[in-house]
């Protein structure tokens, strides 16, 4: 689990150079880069740190729309389409879901258009007991996962599960139903009931209580 900053897979890409100069110059130019880490601050977009091989320098805190993975990219999607939600907290986990490795994915953007790409990894938030969870990381219907992907237009995006549909030639039908599910609203626990008790019995002979 990471706090504020976590390591990323070393993904080779390009930075739009105007982001390196606070938009004073560099427009239309690209700088080679390699992803190093990601920063998560509640109420802000993810900020990515990169190694710039031509300079031997690290550049920190750039948003996802500063990066492209194709030199001849065509995408111009804005930041609020590429990343739908702000970060939910400061504690997070970065994981590649092996069952999704290299799968094709499409997401429904705020522009009501489908955008196609390939899965990379996922960032998920939590409150681990080190501090009070003053956000929604443990509220079932509000919790969000962030699935990072390369888009066919050359950009990167990160989207929650409910905006994504996946492609697998073996497991997923060519023609699929459209999901009409409702958000999960229950958190389940078995530890706080008054009905059952094991006491100090080593073998957990469960006894039912009357009250």
User: Between residues 194 and 141, which one has the greater pLDDT?
Assistant: 194
Residue 46: pLDDT band with limits 50, 70, 90: very high
User: How many residues make up the chain in this entry?
Assistant: 211
pLDDT at 200 over 80: no
Residue percentage of the chain with pLDDT more than 70: 82
Whole-angstrom CA distances from 32 to 65, 70, 94, 96, 151 are 15, 10, 24, 24, 18
Mean pLDDT within 3-24: 97
**Which of 11-15, 179-183, 195-199 is modeled with the greatest confidence?**
11-15
Residue percentage of the chain with pLDDT more than 90: 64
Mean pLDDT within 129-152: 76
By C-alpha distance, which of 145, 65, 137, 154 is closest to 97?
145
pLDDT of the residue at 155: 98
pLDDT of the residue at 202: 60
The CB density around residue 100, as the number of other CB atoms within 10 Å, is 19
Please check whether residue 39 is in contact with residue 49, taking contact to mean a CB–CB distance below 8 angstroms. Answer: yes
Mean pLDDT within 90-101: 94
Q: If you average pLDDT over every residue of the chain, what do you get?
A: 88
By C-alpha distance, which of 146, 129, 127 is closest to 137?
127
pLDDT of the residue at 176: 76
Burial class (CB in 10 A: 0-12, 13-18, 19+), 135: middle
pLDDT of the residue at 174: 74
Mean pLDDT within 109-123: 96
- Tokens 């239309």 sit at which residue? 28
Residue 199: pLDDT band with limits 50, 70, 90: low
User: Between residues 36 and 136, which one has the greater pLDDT?
Assistant: 36
User: Between residues 3 and 202, which one has the greater pLDDT?
Assistant: 3
**Under 8 Å CB-to-CB from 132, ≥6 apart: which residues?**
none
pLDDT of the residue at 136: 67
Please check whether residue 55 is in contact with residue 17, taking contact to mean a CB–CB distance below 8 angstroms. Answer: no
pTM: 0.85
Distance CA 62, CA 87 (A): 14
By C-alpha distance, which of 57, 56, 50, 55 is closest to 16?
50
> b/e per residue, 102-129, with b = 16+ CB within 10 A?
ebbbbbebeeeeebebbbbbbbbbebee
């Amino acid at each position: 689990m990471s706090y504020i900053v976590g390591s990323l897979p070393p993904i080779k890409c390009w930075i739009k150079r105007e982001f390196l100069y606070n938009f004073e110059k560099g427009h239309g130019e690209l700088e080679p880069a390699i992803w190093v880490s990601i920063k998560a601050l509640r109420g802000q977009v993810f900020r990515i740190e990169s190694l710039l091989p031509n300079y031997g320098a690290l550049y920190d805190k750039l948003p996802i729309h500063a990066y492209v993975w194709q030199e001849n990219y065509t995408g111009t999607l804005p930041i609020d389409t590429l990343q739908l939600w702000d970060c939910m907290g400061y504690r997070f986990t970065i994981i590649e879901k092996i069952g999704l490795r290299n799968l094709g994915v499409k997401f429904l953007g705020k522009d009501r258009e489908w955008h196609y790409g390939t899965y990379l990894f996922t960032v998920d938030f939590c409150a681990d007991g080190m501090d009070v969870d003053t956000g929604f990381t443990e509220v079932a219907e509000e919790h969000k996962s962030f699935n990072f992907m390369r888009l066919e237009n050359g950009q990167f995006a990160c989207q929650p599960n409910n905006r994504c549909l996946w492609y697998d030639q073996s497991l997923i039908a060519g023609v699929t139903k459209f999901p009409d599910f409702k958000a999960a609203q229950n958190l389940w626990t078995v530890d706080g009931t008054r009905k059952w008790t094991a006491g100090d019995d080593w073998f957990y002979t469960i006894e039912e209580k009357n009250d």
